[in-house]
Amino acid sequence: MSLALVLDLDDTLYPERAYNFSGFRAVGRHLAAQHGISGFADCCVALFESGARGDIFDQALARLGVTADVAELLTVYREHAPEITLFEDARTLFERVRGKLPLALLTDGYAAVQRRKVAALGIADHFAARVFSDDEGREAWKPSPLPYLRVMNLLAQKAEEFIYVGDNPAKDFVTARKLGWQTVWVCRPGAVHQVEAVAPGFEADIVIESLTGLPWHRYGL
């Protein structure tokens, strides 16, 4: 059996919160330079740390007592060149599998944003296939079968040879399992998406705390 390792991006290979904070800093620089508003990034980080999601920019502007065009800030956030780095265990994984197992990337999110993350991490060349589900539209995001089938077409292997490694049981594993893939949940302490309970059918075959815990012996490594 020739296996193929398929990897999610956010919170699987690098800490997603580092992207969030990098974006806050970019928007903060923009607001300071263009509108003379200071303290925005620190305010966003504090809101994020206290659990705010989704309307952080509105809340930060309100806290600072200023107004700005949130759509413009979102554009700056999404178009900034992210300052992010791989998890150490992801770096080790790339070294370990190099030339031994084919790797594929399967990631959701705005395609241009995800491509900027891949470029910032410098990992594009590790993958035999890179699938950005958003290339096929919002309806092709996980758990749509489309991006999984695209990976299978690109690598041309049997379903049971694919191993999907992701961090989010709400969307990463349900379709992979239905297609006959093996699944691994990397459940990191401190991840952006903390999970209370996993719905039936959405579980992974195995759960690990870091990529170091992958069952390498089963993969012949």
Chain centroid offset of residue 186 CA: 12
Distance from C-alpha of 6 to C-alpha of 131, rounded to nearest angstrom = 10
**Of 5, 6, 7, 11, which lies in the binding site for Mg ion, with binding defined by CB under 5 A?**
11
Part of the chain binding Mg ion (CB under 5 A), chosen from 2-10, 74-82, 118-126, 156-164: 2-10
Angle value at C-alpha 88, between 191 and 113, nearest 5 degrees: 60
From residue 149 to residue 188, the character string flagging contacts with Mg ion as x (rule: CB under 5 A) and all else as - is ------------------xx--------------------
Distance from C-alpha of 39 to C-alpha of 44, rounded to nearest angstrom = 9
Does 8 bind Mg ion (CB under 5 A)? Our answer is yes
Q: Which two tokens stand for residue 62?
A: 């309100």
Does 89 bind Mg ion (CB under 5 A)? Our answer is no
Does 10 bind Mg ion (CB under 5 A)? Our answer is yes
Of residues 18 and 70, the one with the C-beta less far from Mg ion: 18
Shortest distance, position 192 Cβ to Mg ion, whole Å: 8
Q: Which of 68, 190, 120, 118 is nearest to 131 (CA)?
A: 118
Query: What residues make contact with Mg ion under the rule CB under 5 A?
Result: 8, 10-11, 167-168
